Amino acid sequence: MAEIRYNVLMRWVSRVIIGVGVVLVAVGLTVLLWPLHANGVSGSALLPHYAKELGFQTSYALPLHPTLGELRLAGVRLPGDVVAHRRRLGELVGGIGLALVVVSSVFAARHRRWPA
């Protein structure tokens, strides 16, 4: 009797973990497809549309033609950095969800008792 309760509990836990994983994959896709709201970029992280020119203001003087590193050091949020951050976030959340689904599915398949 105790073994039946254990199997029912393990199946329930496995289904809950798979459900959480599927939700995380959906959240990761939503993050990737959600519109970006930043200076110089529009669209989503998967299909960004960059502006031709970008305006910014810093609290100290920059060289006439600053490099990307100097702009980042001055605190300017570049459109490419915003897109890269959103992509990394979506990939991380979706990857964790996918890992939960795969690990829980493999665990459930390996511990399934087949009738004799």
The domain total for the chain is 1
Count Cβ neighbours within 10 Å for each residue of 61-99 and write b for 16 or more, e otherwise. Answer: eeeeebeeeebeeeebbbbeebbeebbeebeebbebbee
Range of the domain at 100: 2-47+66-110
CA angle 109, 112, 116 (to 5 degrees): 135
Q: Across the chain, where does the E strand assignment appear? A: 41-43, 48-50
The two three-digit tokens of residue 65, written as one number: 């033609």
- 56 DSSP assignment: -
Instruction: Kindly tell me if the per-residue pLDDT of 2 is higher than 80.
Output: no
Residue 53 forms part of a structural domain: no
Task: Give the pLDDT confidence score for residue 22 in this predicted structure.
Answer: 96
Model confidence over 70-112: pLDDT tens digits? Answer: 888 888 888 889 999 999 999 999 999 999 999 998 887 776 6
pLDDT band at 1 (very low <50, low <70, confident <90, very high): low
Residue 55 forms part of a structural domain: no
State the pTM of this model.
0.79
Model confidence over 27-77: pLDDT tens digits? Answer: 999 999 999 888 889 999 999 998 888 787 778 788 888 898 988 888 888
Residue 59 forms part of a structural domain: no
Residue 91 forms part of a structural domain: yes
Residue 72 forms part of a structural domain: yes
